[in-house]
Chains A and B, each alone.
Chain A
Amino acid sequence: MSETTIKLEVFRYRPDNGGPTFQSYDVPYHDDWVVLDALNYVKNYIDGSLSFRWSCRMGVCGSCGMQVNGEPSLTCAAFLRDHLPGPVRVEPLTNFPVERDLVVDMNGFMEKLDHVKPYLVREDEADDLSAEYLQTPVQLDRYKQFSMCINCMLCYAACPVIGRVDDFIGPAALALAQRYNLDSRDQGKQMRQDVIFQNEGIWECTFVGECSEVCPKHVDPAGAIQQAKLEGAVDYYKRLLMPWARRS
């Protein structure tokens, strides 16, 4: 019995050996295979020189984001059956420099995460570890959605602003800032807002919402950005018009 196959067209680039180019591979087709399974088949049994990142293959480590037929996707969650009859074109995430094949340079993204001070800021003198800070389920719900980001960077690939303004902090990092701003245990909002609103990109974000559409974890970074902008604008005018009434 001949096995059903599907064609992959994979972006190849080796900085020491020319390119870029597309390479085609015929791989077995299985109804329950995801694109990552097909890439692993290539690497294991056809061409070991294909480079890509992956680990958990269950949609939580965030490593395996790529363009699948032009859409930013987690390849561990993109089923071949949704791309029949093929070919399936696999490319590195857009808006990132390409290091090699399907591997992009994440350093800029990592710096943006760092930039928004993504940790609880407290004014307490010393950390008293005898008891937890109280937080009701209602307070938890205020930021919970924005805490679900797996840093897969699909939203950066989808973002029309990142394509134009390179240093835009971007959807995931802004959602993360909002995650801490909305946390009842945090006291660092002012500091984060100052950082965020010095960044030009945020004013160019027009709430097109592509970032929220591609988010595999329904974090809704577009919503976070709009919330932050609204608060930032109110805050800005308050400080401008009523310097004596600084928001806490």
Chain B
Amino acid sequence: MGRLHPLPGVPKITFVNEIRHDILIIGAGGAGLRAAMAVVEANPDLSIGLVSKVYPMRSHTVAAEGGMAAVIKGNDAREHHIYDTISGSDWLADQDAVEMFVDEAPRELIQLEHWGCPWSREDSGHVAVRPFGGMQIERTWYAADKTGFHVLHALFQTSLQFSQITRYDEYFATSLITADGRCQGCVALELRTGKLHVLRANAVIICTGGFGRIFPFTTNGSIKTGDGLALAYRAGVALKDMEFVQYHPTGLPGTGILITEASRGEGGILLNTENRRYLQDYDLGEPLDIHDPRHPENRTMELGPRDRLSQAFMHEQAAGRTFQGDYGDYVHLDVRHLGERLIDTRIPFVRELASNYAGIDPVVEPIPVRPVVHYMMGGIDTDVHGLTTLPGLYAAGECACVSINGANRLGSNSLTELVVFGARAGRHAAAAVNGQQLADGPEVDRQLSAERDRIEELRARPSGGERIAVIRDDLTTAMEAGAGIFRDEASLSACCGTLRELEDRVTRISLDDSSPVYNTELISALELDCMVDISQALAHAALDRTESRGSHQRTDYAARDDANYLKHSMAYRTDGDPRIEYKDVVITRWPPAERVYGSSGEKDGK
């Protein structure tokens, strides 16, 4: 054991002196780091504060496995990537945003390459690509099956050379500061001391990632609690398309650990209890023999989109053709035919995870898998620059909804989204800040004292109240029961009712921990409060959308309804239930059409 650090000596929560930067970034994962470096590139004279509740390399970008989409090879074209993304989104993506995304993706991925990302290579030395679900042409760049890990570490390590970036590691942002109608900073709790810091800036970029932790069974790490969404939501910004929750079809039962889609991109197949490649029964095309050189076929069977594959599992389960295990039903993901050598070079992490956490070696046994909450298409409403409706406030990455993902995100578009829109937000913010006067006075003081009182009150509550973990369990159970893969009015209404009760119960939480130093229980309580808020936005948006589109499947409204719902939902916070409004989808050149997968699938909508 090492030395013991003595107490810094602060019994109560206190504010320390205000810190000023030109731009604040909340969240230091892929989007936040890319945004920070984009600011440096755009204007090296600006100072950047990078606030994160964990050390940057702990951010959940680290867990992304399969890869990153961008058009780089001669057999691919921007039109293909655009069409795959739009049809994958079930036409809910904004097409202007998708076009920008696709156009800027290759340059951003080359930038990562120049920043040291160890991309897997062809013998020629050029980066290698592989197919992912819902793609006509293989375009996923990858670093074995630890792409997110390598991207995050490359970004973080590269960022260390820029003295313009001041890091606030293990600072938890608790609220935004707004004055004169602009966002002007945030309040952040320093975990190490328990002190509250006032961080001021003329632009704030939220890059806090997703919120899979509002569901009980998720690939997301414990930090994915949606704090950044709650910050924006409470400041009056809409949360957009929250009802669209991506279930990844292949998670390990029990832990929810992800088995990457790359395992299917490399040729892995899904089998039910009858050893049948059951996806052929769900309009995803005809299976090719696993030894056929054309297998796996793009946009077909195991390379269909995630929403359709997860829904197929549910139908198989209802028909009794799934295996039963200690942690629920599952099917088999079989990669044995790929052979040990290919498994070890292309998907080594799959082997490591399956051996460590499921106790099976994929070289000789099929992997048990089931759908697992993986990604949130919805998030903070932004324009194509990452700017929200609150001047000075930006968002990028999974916490934002631009939207390029619509009702279903394609695998390997999310890491690309981090860098493309992280960079866009950073550049736009850098151009917008201009040493504007930061407001002082009663409007700011009121917010600061209210924030201090809120946290003091939570810390000072008498013992014997509600327990965080119990409320969190009730929340995740309600979300799965009410807003899972299949939903209807009854399930969603019940869920909304439960969330209402939880909102009340959260105010009665009491803490076991009274220490100011590393009070992780206090952070958990603040996170849970965020989770309840954004869950309500999700459930109400799902209740109001009386159609089925992409990942949002209403058993009582089974068809897509373009006449009424070719629109983004916009959830606004009120004192009562969230208010749901709608905003038109931007259509440029790809009018809504049927989503067709399998070899009969159309190309580019023609």
Contacts and interface: CB of A to CB of B under 8 A. Distances in A.
Interface string B1-14: 11111111101000
A63 interface: yes
Contacts of A49: 511-515, 521
A219 to B, nearest CB: 12
Interface in A193-217: none
Interface in A99-128: 99-101, 103-106, 110, 113-114, 117-120, 122, 127
Nearest to A20: B4
Interface string A223-244: 0000000000000000000000
Given A13-B4, A129-B107, A58 B115 contact: no
A164 to B, nearest CB: 13
B468 interface: yes
A140 B144 CA distance: 11
A151 interface: yes
- Pick from A54, A67, A99, A110 the residue with the most CB of B within 10 Å: A99
A62 B356 contact: no
B540 interface: no
Contacts of B149: 60, 150
A25 interface: no
Contacts of B467: 44-45, 48
A48 B517 contact: no
A3 interface: no
A63 B1 contact: no
A132 B469 contact: no
Contacts of B517: 14-16, 99-100
Given A48-B512, A61-B63, A147-B150, A97 B2 contact: yes
A245 interface: no
Interface string A9-37: 00101111101100000000000100000
A232 to B, nearest CB: 21
Interface in A121-157: 122, 127, 129-137, 139-140, 143-144, 147-148, 150-151
Contact of B520 (A51, A59, A119): A51
A99 B518 contact: yes
Contacts of B63: 56, 58, 60-61
Contact of A134 (B6, B124, B255): B124
Contacts of A139: 125
Nearest to A218: B352
A119 B111 CA distance: 13
A187 interface: no
A144 B116 CA distance: 11
Given A48-B467, A110-B55, A119 B160 contact: yes
Contacts of B111: 127, 129
B419 interface: no
Q: How large is the interface on A (under 10, 10 to 19, 20 to 34, 35 or more residues)?
A: 35 or more
Contact of B121 (A91, A98, A127, A140): A140
A63 B223 CA distance: 11
A167 interface: no
Contacts of A59: 352-353, 356
Contacts of A114: 160
A193 B255 CA distance: 43
A110 B156 CA distance: 11
A183 interface: yes
Given A49-B521, A119-B160, A133 B4 contact: no
Given A16-B517, A60-B146, A106 B55 contact: yes
B513 A103 contact: no
A61 B116 contact: no
A16 B513 contact: no
A62 B520 CA distance: 18
B5 A98 contact: yes
A54 B513 CA distance: 18
B118 A140 contact: yes
Contacts of B161: 117, 119
Contacts of B516: 16
Interface in B517-538: 517-521, 524
B222 A135 contact: no
Nearest to B11: A16
B57 A140 contact: no
A144 B113 CA distance: 14
Contacts of A127: 111, 114
A57 interface: yes
A86 B249 CA distance: 37
A14 B515 contact: yes
Contact of B2 (A96, A132, A134, A137): A96
Nearest to A114: B160
Interface in A48-76: 48-49, 51-63, 67
B114 A44 contact: no
Given A49-B512, A103-B518, A110-B55, A119 B157 contact: yes
Contacts of B11: 16
B480 to A, nearest CB: 18
B158 interface: yes
Given A44-B468, A48-B513, A117-B161, A98 B3 contact: yes
A15 B222 contact: no
Contacts of B62: 56, 60-62, 150
A81 B58 CA distance: 27
A33 to B, nearest CB: 10
B160 A118 contact: yes
B277 to A, nearest CB: 28
Interface string B543-578: 000000000000000000000000000000000000
Contacts of B126: 132, 134
B337 to A, nearest CB: 23
A148 B154 CA distance: 11
10 contacts: A43-B521, A53-B520, A56-B62, A63-B58, A99-B192, A100-B5, A119-B116, A119-B157, A132-B114, A183-B116
Interface of A: 11, 13-17, 19-20, 32, 43-45, 47-49, 51-63, 67, 77, 91-101, 103-106, 110, 113-114, 117-120, 122, 127, 129-137, 139-140, 143-144, 147-148, 150-151, 176, 180, 183, 185-186
Q: Top 7 A-B pairs ranked by shortest CB distance?
A: A134-B125, A44-B469, A48-B512, A49-B513, A15-B7, A55-B221, A100-B518
Given A130-B110, A136-B124, A180-B116, 5 more contacts: A48-B521, A92-B1, A93-B2, A97-B5, A132-B113
